[in-house]
Each structure stands twice: as C-alpha cells, then as structure tokens.
Structure 1
Amino acid sequence: MSILEKSLNIIEFLAERPAGLSVSHIAQRVNQPASGVHRTLNELIRLGYVRQVQDQGDYALTMKLAALGVGFLGRTGVGDVAQPILDRLAQVSGELIRLSVIDGDDLIWVAVAQGATGGLRYDPGQEQGVVVHLASSAGGQAWLASMSDEEALERVSRQGLINPSKPSGPGAPRTIAELLEILAETRKRGYARSVDSYIIGMAAMAMPVRSGGQVISCLSIAAPAVRMTPERMAELAPHLSAAAEEIGLAANGSKYFPGLHKHG
C-alpha cells in the first residue's frame, strides 16, 4: 500500500467520525501500524487537514477538506442544473429530496432540498459528498436495479452488503437472495422503495436519472416512515419520474455528471 493510499484511508475513516479518535483506534481500524499513522496525522496537521482535538491524542479532520469539496461541487454546475428541479419536487412532495451522481463505482449525494417546513420530518443534516450505501438505501437500490443482477452483485460485493459505517434497520437486506428479490420488485414497480432500511424510522423512494439512455444519477424522496406509506409513494411516483426526466434532459448543461461523460 502506497503512502498516498494509507493517507487517504485515514482521511476517509476520519470523515465518518467528526468527533475524532485516538491514534491507536485509528490504526486498528485502518489496519496500519500506530507509528505510521502518527506520522501521517502529523503531516496532515502540518498541511491543515487534521487537528488535534485533545492534548492526550484525539485527532479529527478540519474543515479544509469539506471546504474544498463544497467549492468543487459549486464550480461543477450540479446545483445550477438540478437545484431548481429539486426545489420544485420538495415543494410538491413536502419532503426531503436528494440527488446522487455516479462516480466510478460509487454513488455520491451531491444536492438536497427540504420540503418539510415543520413538524415530524426527516432532516439528516449535511450529506453532500457522502458515498451512498447501495444495498440499504433507496437510491442505491434504484441504481442497482438498473443493472443486471450480475453487475449489481459485483458492485455490492466491493462495498459490502451490510453498511460498515452505520447500523442498518430491520428492512435492509441481510442476504443476497433478499437483495435480488428487492431489485426484482424495484424493476417491476418502476422505482425503489425502502422502509426502515438505511435508517430506522425513515422511508424513501428513488428512481435513476437517465440521459441518452444511460443512467447518470439517482433522485430520491425521503421522509419519516409513518408518513411515507406505500400509498403516498405511489402518489409521488409521477412527480419523481417527471423530475428525474427533467434532470436527465438538462444534464448536458453541467460539467459534472461523470457517468454521462465517461465515454465521451
């Protein structure tokens, strides 16, 4: 493993733990010697990407990396293309709307709109830049259902059937057979539907966004499960489909839809 790869593994691990962790804990989780992790952390501190939370040794990421990511997304044009469409769908649905884009083997949340103005609502906070767990999320299942079973299982095997960063709910697939059944139902229904899967108490629906016949991203609506019933999802499906189609038609106006331009 190269020095760069080791450094990135540490950064990716800390990105999921903003409160920070000790050198020994980080070393154990990234499977690197503590001495090497300590050297890497000191170098990242020097470069401004890591800070020491406590004198006794906890380390956490600074906002520098997040600022770079936000600035990059702002300059790509994703918001210019998609945000007005997301805002309209949020207004119609009264729920949380999220757009994720395909980047290599990953699906990454890049834009959000909140339509719920009060009361019980699903509001996860800042998720832009987060890699979507494919098997347990509606967006991930929508993307997987657009592929053959073989390709879907290959992608899931790389990431893991079980979400390593947070515990999934009882509705998440626990076996390959359960996942394949979910994907078959998604293809038949026309959109993915997950309840108590990615997060307990949350339900979501999602569709892939296509441009020129090619899937380039996924669009989802999420809400508390008590409100986001199967009947409500069926009512929202035409609106979700129309918004996904609109984003697909507008995608050429953005510099950043990796799935669209990877063969260009």
Structure 2
Amino acid sequence: MVSPDPLFNQSLEKGLEALRAFTAVHRTLTLGELATLTGMTKSSAQRTVHTLEQLGYVDKHPQTRRFRLTPKVMEIGYNYLAADSLIPIASPYLSQLANASGETANLTEPVGLDMVYVAQLMTAKHMPVLTPVGMRIPMYCTSSGRAYLSTLPDAQAREMLERSARAARTPATLTDVDAIFTRVAACRTVGYACNEEELFLGDMGVGAPIVNSQGIAVGAVHVSPPVSRWTMEEAQRKLGPLVVECAWAISRSIGH
C-alpha cells in the first residue's frame, strides 16, 4: 500500500477539480452537478464552491442560481503565458509561417497526453474549427501531438499511446496503436506529422516538433489547412517544408 503524501493538499486539489469541471459543455453548474462531476460529496462541493466564490473565481447567476466561472480565472492561465519564454521566441517565426502558408500558425506544448495551444498567429482566411489559446487536443490523433511523440524513444511513445483514450473522434480517426505509431515514425523521416480529419471533420493538420539544444522536445508548431482549400497531398508538398523550417528556426533560437 502506498503511503499518503503528508504534503499533499486535498483541499487545493478539490478547488482545482471544481474549476476544471466548468467546460464548453458545462458552462454553468448546480451544486449537485458540480459534486457529481468532481466526485465530491455535496457538502464538500458546497465548501469548495463557496471558497471559490469568496475568492472571486466563481459566481452565482442571480436568476438561475447556477454557478459559473468569472474572468478572474483567466489570470492563472495568463500568468503562465506571460512567463513562458518559448512564446516570444516563436512569435516572429509563427508570423512568417502564417504569411508564407496563408493559414493560421499554431504553437502547442505538451501536458500529459495532450497538447495545449499557447500561441496562435491568425490569417484573414476562414477557419472551419475554432482552436483558441488554452485549448487542449489529444496527441494520438493530431499532427502536433504526433510530431512531439516522434522525438521520444519508441517505448515511451508507444506507452503514451497505450495510455491515451484513443476514441474515434471522427470516422477517419486512427485508434490502433500500431497504425498511429507508423504515422509517428514517419515524422522522423520527413520532418513533419499529419492528421487528415481525425480530430475534426473538414480540418487537417501538418506539424513539426520544436526541440531545445539538448534535443528534448518542448513543443510543436502546426498549421490546420481545411479540406475546402487543400488536399492532403498539396498540404504535405507545400506546407510540410514551411512547417519544418519554422520549427527548426524556433529550435535553433532556443538558448537552453
């Protein structure tokens, strides 16, 4: 039996779980719904949400009496973005990529089995899918995730794929570990990874890994060409080299 961590603060854990319970699907929650989503007892959920309300991170709608997040929550995420040294290094190269490709350029960083958008240089062209900064996307079915996995040893990459949910997000989503790993391994040869409508219908991805001076991956850069403007073959031929060049330039500029 594993001994409990005497320094682990369960109250803080509950507070963070409560904040994470609010999503695009659950924009507002009753106390009972919050308790169910977090696995807390109703009394524990009440104490937690009351504390968050007093601190200004949650408030209650005056008519519906349902709880909702407040803009103050954004301070936490913004503090990370403000302190992230990779973003100012990558920004000029993302701008060049967006201009050269005509498509929105994105910077993502790994969090567990996901990649998180931390920067984005948009173009005036229509984007069929909104992917704002802060959004998490799974590694197994995205170009940026596969690009990141391609830098890891085979055993580690496979282990992470095994632990991934590997849900079929669309009819095109690859869910077999061997099939996904084949795409991951291909990135090592051509320099970029792809996904073709595996996360969202109508949306593709071409991504390349960003590594530091020790060769350790710290993120990935990608563009998401829509099928309304590109075929996968065209995207690989024209966008692949641009994405690789952008990722290489960012990697070369990292000082640590």
So what's the TM-score if we normalise by structure 2?
Answer: 0.84
The equivalent residue for 2:6 is none
The equivalent residue for 1:242 is 245
Report the alpha carbon displacement of residue 159 of structure 1 after superposing the two structures with TM. Answer: 4.7
SS state of the match for residue 223, structure 1? coil
SS state of the match for residue 171, structure 1? coil
The equivalent residue for 2:127 is 121
Distance 1:125 1:210, change over 3 A: closer
The equivalent residue for 1:224 is 226
| Distance in 2 (alpha carbons) for counterparts of 1:158 and 1:9 | 21
The equivalent residue for 1:194 is 195
Question: CA deviation digits over 1:222-250, x for unaligned, max 9?
Answer: 12123232222221122111111111122
Question: CA deviation digits over 1:71-104, x for unaligned, max 9?
Answer: 4413434432111111110011011111012457
Native 8 Å contact 1:82 1:247 kept in 2 = yes
Distance 1:18 1:84, change over 3 A: farther
Structure 1: unaligned runs, 5 residues or longer:
253-259
| Distance in 2 (alpha carbons) for counterparts of 1:181 and 1:155 | 14
| Distance in 1 (alpha carbons) for counterparts of 2:135 and 2:36 | 23
Report the alpha carbon displacement of residue 125 of structure 1 after superposing the two structures with TM. Answer: 5.0
Q: How does 1:179-218 map to 2 (within 5 A)?
A: 179-212=180-213, 213-218=215-220
Q: Which has the higher Rg, Structure 1 or Structure 2?
A: 2
The equivalent residue for 1:76 is 84
Question: CA deviation digits over 1:193-243, x for unaligned, max 9?
Answer: 111112121111101012222212100011212323222222112211111
Aligned residues: 246
Structure 2: unaligned runs, 5 residues or longer:
1-8
| Distance in 2 (alpha carbons) for counterparts of 1:209 and 1:21 | 39
The equivalent residue for 1:251 is 254
Report the alpha carbon displacement of residue 178 of structure 1 after superposing the two structures with TM. Answer: 3.0
Q: How does 1:161-172 map to 2 (within 5 A)?
A: 161-162=166-167, 168-172=169-173
The equivalent residue for 1:138 is 143
Native 8 Å contact 2:113 2:138 kept in 1 = no
Native 8 Å contact 1:99 1:109 kept in 2 = yes
The equivalent residue for 2:160 is 155
Distance 1:250 1:187, change over 3 A: closer
| Distance in 2 (alpha carbons) for counterparts of 1:19 and 1:236 | 36
Q: 1:173 and 2:174 equivalent?
A: yes
Native 8 Å contact 2:59 2:70 kept in 1 = yes
| Distance in 2 (alpha carbons) for counterparts of 1:47 and 1:150 | 44
Q: 1:23 and 2:31 equivalent?
A: yes
| Distance in 2 (alpha carbons) for counterparts of 1:153 and 1:160 | 13
Report the alpha carbon displacement of residue 19 of structure 1 after superposing the two structures with TM. Answer: 2.2
| Distance in 1 (alpha carbons) for counterparts of 2:212 and 2:164 | 26
| Distance in 2 (alpha carbons) for counterparts of 1:57 and 1:36 | 18
Higher relative contact order (CA 8 A, sep 6+): 1
| Distance in 1 (alpha carbons) for counterparts of 2:86 and 2:183 | 30
Q: 2:93 aligns with which of 80, 85, 89?
A: 85
Native 8 Å contact 1:145 1:187 kept in 2 = yes
Q: Which moved further from structure 2: 31-40 or 216-225?
A: 31-40
Q: Which moved further from structure 2: 37-46 or 100-109?
A: 100-109
Native 8 Å contact 1:204 1:228 kept in 2 = no
Aligned sequence identity (%): 23
So what's the TM-score if we normalise by structure 1?
Answer: 0.82
